[in-house]
Chain A
Amino acid sequence: MKEVTVIGAGVVGLCVARQLVDRGATVRVIDSGGEAGEQSCSWWAGGMLAPFCEGESAEEPVVRHGEEALGWWQEKTNAVETGGSLVVSAQRDRADLKQFARRTKNHRSLSRAEIEALEPELPDGIQQALYFETEANLAPREALSALKTGLERDGVSFETGWADPDVLASDGMTIDCRGLAAADAFPDLRGVKGEMLIVHAPDVTFKRTIRLLHPRIPIYVVPREDGEYMIGATMIESKDSNRASVRSVLELLSAAYALNPAFGEAEIVEIGVASRPAFPDNLPRITRNGNLIRVNGLYRHGFLLSPALGGMVADLVFNKNTRPEFLYDYSD
């Protein structure tokens, strides 16, 4: 029986644990907070399962593995909402929409009448949209909680605390999934700060993820349960995750208000900040040194890529000779 310790109970750690348990390993998970929470990047995620939209700026593997992620999350949780995503721009930024269409696939262009049929509250200024019908979104905290519950049912223990990965690895197989907290183990891991809001807006009736293309303030609005919406997210080269700036919050809210003036009546439930761990190519890496495997750099694609990366780590644990796609050797 393989015994494995996973450090980090964010989306990466939980997916790694899930894949290991599914292959028969005995797993314990250690996290500074005991479970996913404010200390985890994924707690603050948008939860968009939108591989084709991401393909506009992300590398090909993100699209490929992201496509598989939808089914995985549907199988493991009840947190997935299908309904597609809608990409829109103001008329004066229609060049951005045209370019977005050219650089992505699996979408169709909607006329104003078709937009109104899907999302009647979008303002008149939005005359064109791209509809990515097969995309979905999930509620990140529900998904994380569902994974944890399932793991506990399968005998996984969750411990609160901090542990040195090198010390743990001297005792047995250890998977370091700490995100930016593991920066000292990677010479080129950086943080990309993201700020987001959750608002309670019962007057808004958006049914699906809406992405607004804008030269300065691109945002997305994701519907959550009970009249709540997630509005995100900034992208700032900074490892800071202490506080959101007034400017960022103003910009996010102004853009949301432009999408639907009913956001003006909303209540602010939360203002969230996290810094996403990223490598220079914005793709994840797996490293291996004896009993210590590290997974990191999922950037803004935690929920899209973690199921696939969990599988790759499980491959490595059970078969030393395998060479998964994102395995990276710093001595190369």
Chain B
Amino acid sequence: MLSVYGTELSSRLMLGTAQYPSPAILADAFAKSNAGIATVSLRRESGQDRAGQDFWSLIQSLGVQILPNTAGCHTVKEAVTTAHMAREVFGTKWIKLEVIGEEDTLQPDVFGLVEAARILSEDGFQVFPYTTEDLVVADRLLNAGCEVLMPWGAPIGSGLGLNNTFGLRAMRAHFPDVPLVIDAGLGLPSQAAQAMEMGFDAVLLNTAVAKAGSPADMAHAFALALEAGRAAYLADPMEPRDMAAPSSPVIGKAFLS
């Protein structure tokens, strides 16, 4: 079972809670996904006087662990403030840390990310950083106190899948013992299966499910894909090779004929 910051996770799927047509459809999607963690973004204004409490109560009633995030934060200060608010609202030390560096690709500002990760870790948070596949940044994040890394597959909401499989494979090989979660960019179950086949520990989805025509059915499809991909990884897949390898026995055949 996957363990992060000493907590065992019942599922390898983390599901976001934004952009669904309605909270009822969101709840259906969670039921069909078997997701064990729900990520929730916290807008600062909703935290004031707990004006967003009704929606958070709906999320809390899903019966899964809550991973608040700092989505939409562009500076270290914003991210740290939002993290503190999230800790108060949800009563958890977990924080999915996003520090956005660029509006069009929503790619992380890795410099701000490392700085915010250090500040929050020292303050007792358990940080889940949204990062790139860059090995040096990954190393800095681990040094800053992170015990899990969340590299992107592709830009948030793009549905492009695993953009840099070479980089992601290198990351997996370089950090064999660090829980690695593919966060962002997945659009199809096959892409999630691919991530699991490559040995990633979990995936985080939002748009792919929320923006599907039928979110609950898509959530179910992703659940099946994760199961298949994980099982394939554990089964130790064969190595690809250049030439055909006959699948029927050749012994006893006159192979020169």
Contacts and interface: CB of A to CB of B under 8 A. Distances in A.
A280 B29 CA distance: 13
Given A190-B54, A238-B52, A282 B46 contact: no
A281 interface: yes
Contact of A190 (B27, B58, B211): B58
Contacts of B23: 190, 280-282
A206 to B, nearest CB: 26
B21 A280 contact: no
B43 interface: yes
A31 B55 CA distance: 28
Given A245-B45, A280-B58, A240 B21 contact: no
Nearest to B22: A282
Interface string B15-29: 000000111110100
A127 B48 CA distance: 42
B45 A280 contact: no
Nearest to B159: A95
Nearest to B18: A237
A283 B27 CA distance: 15
Contacts of A215: 157
B51 interface: yes
B52 A103 contact: no
A238 B46 CA distance: 6
Nearest to A96: B211
Interface in A281-332: 281-283
A51 interface: no
Interface residues of B, number: 20
B49 interface: yes
Contacts of B49: 240
Interface string B167-190: 000000000000000000000000
A6 B53 CA distance: 29
A236 B25 CA distance: 17
Nearest to A189: B54
B213 interface: yes
A191 B54 contact: yes
A58 interface: yes
A57 interface: yes
Interface string A217-259: 0000000000000000000111110000100000000000000
Interface in A79-135: 99, 102-103
A238 B27 contact: no
A194 to B, nearest CB: 13
A280 B51 contact: no
Nearest to A245: B45
A280 B213 contact: no
B58 A240 contact: no
A57 B211 CA distance: 9
Main SS at interface, chain A? loop
Contact of B24 (A57, A58, A245, A281): A281
A240 B24 contact: no
A291 B211 CA distance: 42
A58 B21 contact: yes
A105 to B, nearest CB: 14
A282 B157 contact: no
A280 B20 CA distance: 11
Nearest to A241: B51
Given A57-B21, A215-B157, A280 B27 contact: yes
A237 B46 contact: yes
Contact of B48 (A57, A58, A103, A240): A240
A239 B43 contact: no
B54 A239 contact: yes
B54 A282 contact: no
Contacts of B55: 190, 237-238
Interface string B220-254: 00000000000000000000000000000000000
B45 A237 contact: no
A109 B143 CA distance: 54
Contacts of B157: 215
Contact of B51 (A102, A240, A281): A240
Contacts of B52: 236-239
Contacts of A237: 46, 52, 54-55
B24 A239 contact: no
A240 to B, nearest CB: 4
Interface string A187-228: 011110100000000000000000000010000000000000
22 contacts: A57-B21, A59-B22, A189-B54, A190-B55, A215-B157, A236-B43, A236-B46, A236-B52, A237-B46, A237-B54, A237-B55, A238-B43, A238-B52, A239-B52, A239-B53, A239-B54, A240-B46, A240-B49, A278-B22, A280-B24, A281-B22, A282-B24
Given A99-B211, A236-B46, 6 more contacts: A58-B21, A59-B22, A190-B23, A238-B52, A239-B52, A245-B45
Closest 6 CB pairs of A and B: A190-B54, A237-B55, A240-B51, A281-B24, A282-B22, A238-B51
